[in-house]
Amino acid sequence: MSQGDQNIDEPVVIEEKGSVRLTVLNRPRQLNVISPEVVLKLAEYLELWEKDNQTKLILIKGAGRAFSAGGDLKVFYHGQESKDSCLEVVYRMYWLCYHIHTYKKTQVSLVNGISMGGGASLMVPMKFSVVTEKTVFATPEASFGFHTDCGFSYIHSHLPGHLGEFLALTGARLNGKELVAIGMATHFVPSGKLMDLEAQLVSLDSGDVDVVRSTIEEFSEKVNIDKDSILNKQSVINECFSKESVKQIIQAFEAEASKEGNEWITPVIKGLKRSSPTGLKIVLRSIREGRKQTLSDCLKKEFRLTVNILRKTISPDMYEGIRALTIDKDNSPKWNPATLDEVDDEKINSVLKPFEDDIELQIPETEENRWGGKYETSGYASVRG
């Protein structure tokens, strides 16, 4: 069965080719942002395929010049006046993240363009993640008052040194070669070879990990990062981003910027100072906690943060950030509180505490509850009504 060209208006296009399942994120004009419909469809098919003996290999790619630019921010903005209107899709997205990390069949992401935020959660955890010279990765959530979500408080906290804090706080971009160098992607393949690789993987009609790996390696190249790569600034990053607070990090970074050869720091500091003070403090706390947490613990924590941010528990910054970025596009957000000193650390503590209304994210503990069963019987059903 093939649903490709017949469903050009579908946000996700599915093609079945023998035992291979090709998933195409299909909103190229919107940079394949992850809408509620995308979340539901991906969850539905991944569950189906994991249980299907005829399915051996899953491929996922994006249409156009993006893999996925992340979550559909306008959905959250327009749903802000309806209490908890977005919680169902948020819950499902975190479930989806968990199952991608723990998926039992071989998955390959083919990433030939933008892969940011939640969109990158469909890339990094895959058994094989193939990137190209056109790949651009970032986690820019702090810049618009959100937090590093979809499992990235776990992923970033396990990067070398304090690179995770740097990426999460600054939203700095990495290219395909850099992603391979730090282990966030498995293979670098020139974009001109990507279609041939896809065709070869389909023709394998196999999900054998060694066979898939050797096939990708036939097309891949060894990576050498550029001398100006941010990965070559690790000593400065470790020195500054190991500081206890966001304020101390910025002060240390400013001190380094005055030294010869550190001109690259100045625009990064400007970006930090434009970001939401509340978002920055939440992100730093989340990444630091992630070092001591399991994947499940990180997802539960991130879910709490997301719900509290949606509810404006301590700040309306996310909605203001989305307004400035995607609605009015004036790029002039008015943060509340406006400075780091005004952000109450006790309030940061409060958004990390377990909920009292029984909507905690329920990570499955048994095989029979791996997919829908636990979701349907969890406390979250009380919120869905």
Q: Is 149 a catalytic residue?
A: yes
From 62, 70, 71, 119, active-site residue: 71
State how far the alpha carbon of 230 is from the alpha carbons of 113, 172, 341, in Å: 19, 9, 29
From 118, 151, 290, 321, active-site residue: 118
From 88, 149, 165, 198, active-site residue: 149
From 70, 113, 117, 141, active-site residue: 141
Q: What are φ and ψ of residue 261, in 5° steps?
A: 90, 0
Contact of 77 with 319, CB cutoff 8 Å: yes
Amino acid at 302: E
Residue count of the chain, please give it: 385
Q: Is 141 a catalytic residue?
A: yes
Q: Which residues are marked as active site?
A: 71, 118, 141, 149
